[in-house]
A and B are shown apart, each in its own frame.
Chain A
Amino acid sequence: KQEVTQIPAALSVPEGENLVLNCSFTDSAIYNLQWFRQDPGKGLTSLLLIQSSQREQTSGRLNASLDKSSGRSTLYIAASQPGDSATYLCAVRWGKLQFGAGTQVVVTP
């Protein structure tokens, strides 16, 4: 069964610390993996897309890695800010897009 897991479900860090968010998936035969941000009551904002052939993607303070053999992706957010507080969702495409339950992040001033 193809599943996506995100641990921890919630995370709180002081401002300035680096954030490390984990995503694991059960089947390595993926097309791509995408990280999203969701603010309360809002839709999803795409952060990074990593194709199956890629090992990482970077955008500003964000860096996402992909290790298909171990079924893992990690999203790094450098020098966190209170504005980074949100829920971060990992989604894996095996044909259809399948989502993890998300990690709720709170960055305290």
Chain B
Amino acid sequence: GAVVSQHPSRVICKSGTSVKIECRSLDFQATTMFWYRQFPKQSLMLMATSNEGSKATYEQGVEKDKFLINHASLTLSTLTVTSAHPEDSSFYICSASGSPGTNTEAFFGQGTRLTVV
């Protein structure tokens, strides 16, 4: 299957600072990437859809000014958590598909554990 690489795997930051998480598709081009958040013992919640060369589409209830998404190239999307607070502590996972369309397989990164202290 296709490889999606996410970095860093763990990050601890101070409250009020910003943190950037990278998601790369290593062996394919991804016009669309997805960012999810996962709370302990819960399912993945879609935060936003990242489109190469255009603005991200955010799900209802997700603050676009807090969670900045940039999809600068066909292989890289970044999620920046701005002015992080302890309640932003969570597991963030990105996903990408190798081809457009709704019948394609989704591949996921390794996830990033964010802890805000």
Point out residues on A near B: beta carbons under 8 Å: 4, 31-32, 34, 36, 41-46, 49, 51-52, 89, 91, 93, 95-102
A-B contact count (CB 8 A): 54
Query: Size band of the B side of the interface?
Result: 20 to 34
Contact mask for chain B residues 14-55; partner A; CB cutoff 8 A; 1 contact, 0 none: 000000000000000000001000000111101001000000
A60 to B111, CA, bound (A): 26
- List residues of B whose CB falls within 8 A of some A CB: 1, 4, 6, 34, 41-44, 46, 49, 91, 93, 95, 102-103, 105-111, 113
Chain B nearest Cβ from A109, distance in angstroms: 25
A89-B43, A89-B44, A101-B43 known; A43+B106 contact, CB < 8 A: no
Tell me if A102 and B93 are in contact (CB < 8 A).
Answer: no
Do residues A34 and B106 form an inter-chain contact, with CB atoms below 8 A? Answer: yes
